[in-house]
């Protein structure tokens, strides 16, 4: 049974596919060098380097005979079509898969959407359905800004330069303090010698 946190509409920006890895993943933590994600198949968590090839489901669209349709909208439409029933068992049957998707998305462009795309679509839908992810939602601009905790990429060089400048300033100050000669202690005034009276010379 899925944890309570899964029994809610999921934000589509949180869900990604990773090249070379099966299924879908939910982003838990984002930082500059890597992502911490959780598999939606077995709940295992792992760290993904920033260089990995990932695809956010929010950025994927599907070809139709009219305008392209967001994958999120396609998945939500399939969920409305299926209702409380399980996802269709069309594994390994390309024609059955296409017939099912055509029934839900009749405007699908069959010349540009391949069987492999439809197979992946149904697989992803099944995973999301099992995780009670529907209805999928977009993250609002305000929520996106609030959730950003990292320094924006454009500001990172400025922050680094400021950090280096602070280090240089501190080092220079430290060097100056070391190089400054100690002030000599003020000399005490030498006591004045009493004037020696010269003996008067008799002429």
pLDDT digits 0-9 by tens, 19-65: 999 999 999 999 888 999 999 999 999 999 988 999 999 999 999 99
**3-state helix, strand and coil shares in percent for the chain, rounded to the nearest 5:** 40, 15, 45
pLDDT digits 0-9 by tens, 52-106: 999 999 999 999 999 999 999 999 999 999 988 777 666 778 898 999 999 999 9
Most confident of 90-99, 126-135, 178-187: 126-135
- Cα 92 versus chain centre, distance: 35
Domain locations along the chain: 7-137
- Please compute, for residue 37, the number of CA atoms within 13 A of its CA located in the half-sphere on the CB side: 25
- pLDDT at position 32 is 86
Domain 7-137, classified CATH 1.10.274.10, yes or no: no
DSSP string over 45-82: EEEEETTS-EEEGGG-EE-BSSS-EEHHHHHHHHHHHH
Are residues 124 and 72 in contact, defined by beta-carbon separation less than 8 angstroms? no
User: What is the rounded distance in angstroms from the CA atom of residue 35 to the CA atom of residue 37?
Assistant: 6
At 136, list the tokens.
């999928």
Angle subtended by helix axes 115-130 and 94-104, to nearest 10: 70
Beta strand pairing call for 45-49 and 15-18? unpaired
Instruction: Quote the pTM value.
Output: 0.65
Residue of 24, 3, 2 lying closest to 15 (CA atoms): 24
Using the 8-state DSSP alphabet, how is residue 196 labeled? P
| Beta-bridge mates of residue 25 | 16, 39
| Average pLDDT, integer, range 152-172 | 46
- Asked if the model's pLDDT at residue 12 lies above 70, the reply is yes
pLDDT digits 0-9 by tens, 113-123: 999 999 999 99
Beta strand pairing call for 45-49 and 54-56? unpaired
């Amino acid at each position: 049974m899925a944890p309570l946190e899964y029994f809610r509409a999921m934000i589509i920006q949180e869900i990604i596919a990773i090249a070379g890895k099966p299924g879908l993943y939910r982003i838990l933590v984002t930082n500059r060098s890597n992502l911490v994600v959780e598999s939606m198949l077995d709940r295992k968590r792992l760290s993904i380097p920033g260089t990995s090839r990932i695809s956010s489901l929010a950025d994927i669209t599907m070809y139709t005979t009219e305008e392209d349709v967001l994958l999120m909208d396609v998945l939500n439409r399939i969920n409305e079509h299926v209702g409380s029933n399980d996802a269709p068992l069309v594994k390994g049957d390309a024609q059955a898969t296409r017939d099912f998707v055509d029934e839900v998305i009749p405007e699908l462009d069959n010349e540009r959407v391949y069987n492999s795309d439809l197979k992946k679509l149904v697989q992803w839908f099944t995973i999301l359905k099992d995780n009670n992810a529907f209805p999928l939602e977009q993250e609002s601009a305000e929520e996106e800004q609030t959730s950003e905790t990292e320094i924006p990429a454009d500001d990172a060089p400025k922050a680094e330069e400021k950090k280096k400048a602070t280090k240089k300033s501190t080092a220079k100050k430290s060097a100056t303090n070391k190089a400054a000669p100690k002030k000599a202690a003020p000399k005490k005034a030498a006591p004045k010698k009493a004037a020696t009276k010269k003996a008067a010379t008799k002429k």
